[in-house]
Amino acid sequence: MTSEKKFLNMDELAEYTGMSKSYLYKRVCNKSIPFIKLGTRTVFVTAVIDKWVLSGGQMNMGLPVLAKL
């Protein structure tokens, strides 16, 4: 999975991964997917999502901790 965009919003992430938005929203609520909150917006770092997908959706596979903005 490669993309030129560094950050993805929820719609872009659903298209990028092929996962449904409802599944992704559940992962955000459970904090089981790496994300950043920018005010009311939820964004995802493409490189971190790639690692998350390749690790089978595991949060404990050496993913960097994303700073709260």
CATH number at residue 17: 1.10.10
Exposure of 44 in the CB half-sphere (CA atoms within 13 A): 27
pTM score: 0.77
How many other β-carbons are positioned within 10 Å of the β-carbon of residue 53? 15
Asked whether the CA dihedral 35, 23, 60, 56 is positive or negative, the reply is negative
Q: Are 36 and 43 in contact (CB under 8 A)?
A: yes
Confidence of residue 5 (pLDDT cuts 50, 70, 90): confident
Per-residue pLDDT tens digits for 38-65:
899 999 999 999 989 888 887 765 555 5
The predicted structure's pLDDT at residue 9: 96
Higher pLDDT among residues 61 and 14, named by residue = 14
Exposure of 56 in the CB half-sphere (CA atoms within 13 A): 2
Confidence of residue 14 (pLDDT cuts 50, 70, 90): very high
- How many distinct structural domains can be found in the chain? 1
Q: What's the domain range around 50?
A: 1-69
